[in-house]
Every structure is written in C-alpha cells, then in structure tokens.
Amino acid sequence: MQVVATTMKPDLIINVLQLKPGNHQFDFSIHSDFFEQFSNPIISTGDFSIDIHLQKSETTLIFDFHITGLTPLQCDRSSEIFEYSLNTKKRLIFQYSKIKGDPDGFGDVELIETGTPSIDVSQYIYELICLAIPQKKISPNYYKPEDDLKEANDYSVYSTFKKIKSSSGDSLDIDPRWEKLKGLKGD
C-alpha cells in the first residue's frame, strides 16, 4: 500500500504531525460518492462506518481500522442483488524513516518520511473494503450450510489405503489398486 496525499476527500486525511504521542480516535462515514474517485471500482455503492484508533509514538503510527456497513452485491448463483453486511478489522503500521516506501523485509510496516504532515486513509479504506468482499458472493436466499462443507471437501485429500499386516507383523498401507494388479501376475 502506498501513502498518497489527495485533495479529493480532505475529510479522510489525518493530520498526524499535529497529534501528540498517545491514543487518538477518528470516526468517518462514507457513502456511494466515496467510490467515484476510484477507477474500475469493485464496489460502486454502499454506506460504511469507519472507526480508526491511532496509537502515535515518536517513531511509529499504528492504525487500527474497524469498518462496518452495507453494500449491494450480485449473487453468483441467481444474479439477484442482495445487501451484504461487511464487518472487518485491520491494523496498519507506519514507521518514520529517512526512506519512503515499503522495502523488502519490513512486511506489514510502511515506511514514511520523518515529518510527514498527514496521511490520506481513503485508499487504505477502499482496499480494506474490497478485501472484505467474499470471492464467492451467495445471496442469503440461496446459501446452504452444506455448500461450505462441499467446498471444504473439494480441497480435501482422502486416503484409499487399506492396512494389512506384513510378514513381520507390522501394519502396512497398501493402495487397493495394487491388490487388483497382483491378480494379473501369472503366479
């Protein structure tokens, strides 16, 4: 993720330079007009409440995002539009540095220049909302709990081995297909 200063949504810019070290709370509401600033948005409408808890120290900014809201989605099975209730939490950490960016080896820590006056959180909020949308969008009218079980079974590996005893008395696993092949031998 990249720290971007933009004038499109000045109310989603947090002036971190003026904040004293300690805990700070920010509450935002975004609506459909928020999504217009992004090209090819995954979500184009919705109403969301964003709670941001910021812990500021001399060297670090820790943002804890909690996003809740409703957005219309199209069901993958029926193509009907349904209201999806979104509830997601994510932590972003910014470290003051002489280097800007996200160099390899820092993982979830974003480096920002010492003295950065403000951080525009609109891009982060948009990305967190998009990541919280499920890949498989199923309307509650078409959802069945066994679908989750079937999906889990699609990725499970089953063992078809049978336990048999070796000549030493130890139990061995033998695939039943090999037993059928033994019958083809000319013994």
Q: Where are the domains of the chain?
A: 10-132
- CB 9, CB 37: distance < 8 Å: yes
Residue 114 structure tokens = 């010492």
Distances (CA, A) of 100 to 18, 57, 81, 120, 180: 20, 18, 42, 15, 65
pLDDT at 9 over 50: no
pLDDT tens digit sequence for 117-169? 999 999 999 999 999 999 889 888 887 777 666 655 555 555 554 555 555 66
For residue 10, give the nearest of 24, 28, 25, 36 by alpha carbon: 28
pLDDT tens digit string along 40-95?
A: 778 889 999 999 999 999 999 999 999 999 999 999 889 999 999 999 999 999 99
Q: Which residues are CB-neighbours of 14 under 8 A, at least 6 positions away? A: 26, 52, 54, 118, 119, 121
Q: What is the pTM of this model?
A: 0.69
